């Protein structure tokens, strides 16, 4: 949570970022008090239906401030609550010391609210520009969980919206929709979402080993296809390492990071985010 507030503060001058209310109705406001802004240009935040908790705080704050355009699945996960883990051993009387360890309880004690007043619980953060969400077929969000707390609101707090950016969001949306509709990569993603949803709903499994092998082969081919989506046009994205990141081949994370940079340089969602940024900058 603190990291979400700090990261939000990198892109706004200063002000409240998130409200936190406990069961007694007491509300705390976490704010960025540093007026410095590390980047003042067009900003996009990519999300999907599994973006949850702190990532929703960041997306919600930058959306409320009008600082960023939220791009991705129709809505994020919707986890807007705070939990603690209570060690039950601490509450046992001395005469019951023999039953230790007695386990722990995970307790929900508080709820997150946007600076505009609405909770991120249940509803999550609605994307400004919606893209096909590869994880939507799972149907897993906070609102689908048993006994999850419902969405509600609290009083908004005073904050100053970002006014430096001048772009036509409706036009940016229209341009994005046209690109996605014509995209070979997103066409395959949409088809795969439909296939995965159908597969999830179909509980029948063949007991024939040959059928099992054929299905596994098909699933691998589908997965490989998603890993190697067609490029609609040459990518103009160049991943730049921060100067503070020194390349160290002996670092165990070096190869993993190198592969990650390679993947996002040809990622359909990252590529569309780049086009959206370009439209915002025009």
Give the active site residues: 53, 64, 79
DSSP 250: T
Q: Give just the sign of the alpha carbon dihedral 37, 39, 42, 46.
A: negative
In what side-by-side order are the strands of the sheet with 44-47? 44-47, 69-72, 129-130
At residue 52's C-alpha, the angle toward residues 274 and 28, to 5°, is: 110
DSSP string, 22-35: ETTS-EEEEEE---
28-38: b or e for each residue (b if 16 or more CB lie within 10 Å)?
Answer: eebbbeeeebe
Residue from 47, 252, 211, 251 nearest 134 by CA? 47
* Residue 19 and residue 112 in contact, taking contact as beta carbons nearer than 8 Å: yes
Instruction: Tell me the HSE value of 59 on the side-chain side, using a 13 A CA sphere.
Output: 31
CA distance 71 to 75: 10
Residue from 141, 142, 83, 87 nearest 110 by CA? 83
Whole-angstrom Cα Rg for the chain = 23
């Amino acid at each position: 949570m603190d990291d979400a507030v700090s990261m939000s503060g990198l892109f706004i001058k200063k002000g409240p970022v998130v409200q936190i209310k406990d069961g007694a109705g007491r509300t705390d406001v976490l704010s960025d008090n540093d007026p410095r802004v590390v980047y003042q240009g067009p900003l996009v935040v990519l999300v999907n239906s599994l973006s949850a908790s702190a990532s929703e705080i960041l997306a919600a704050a930058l959306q409320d401030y009008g600082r960023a355009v939220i791009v991705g699945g129709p809505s994020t996960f919707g986890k807007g609550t705070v939990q603690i883990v209570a060690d039950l051993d601490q509450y046992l009387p001395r005469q019951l010391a023999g039953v230790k360890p007695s386990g722990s309880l995970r307790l929900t004690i508080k709820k997150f609210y946007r600076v505009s007043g609405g909770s991120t619980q249940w509803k999550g953060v609605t994307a400004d520009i919606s893209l096909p969400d590869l994880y939507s077929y799972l149907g897993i969000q906070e609102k689908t969980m048993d006994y999850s707390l419902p969405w509600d609101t609290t009083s908004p707090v005073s904050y100053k919206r970002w006014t430096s950016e001048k772009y036509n969001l409706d036009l940016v949306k229209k341009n994005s929709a046209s690109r996605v509709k014509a995209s070979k990569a997103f066409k395959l993603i949409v088809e795969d979402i439909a296939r995965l949803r159908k597969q999830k709903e179909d509980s029948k499994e063949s007991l024939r080993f040959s059928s099992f092998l054929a299905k596994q082969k098909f699933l691998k081919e589908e997965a490989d296809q998603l890993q190697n989506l067609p490029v609609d046009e040459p990518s103009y994205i160049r991943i730049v390492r921060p100067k503070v990141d020194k390349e160290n081949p002996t670092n165990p994370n070096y190869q993993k990071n190198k592969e990650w940079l390679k993947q996002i340089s040809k990622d359909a969602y990252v590529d569309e985010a780049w086009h959206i940024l370009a439209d915002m900058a025009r």
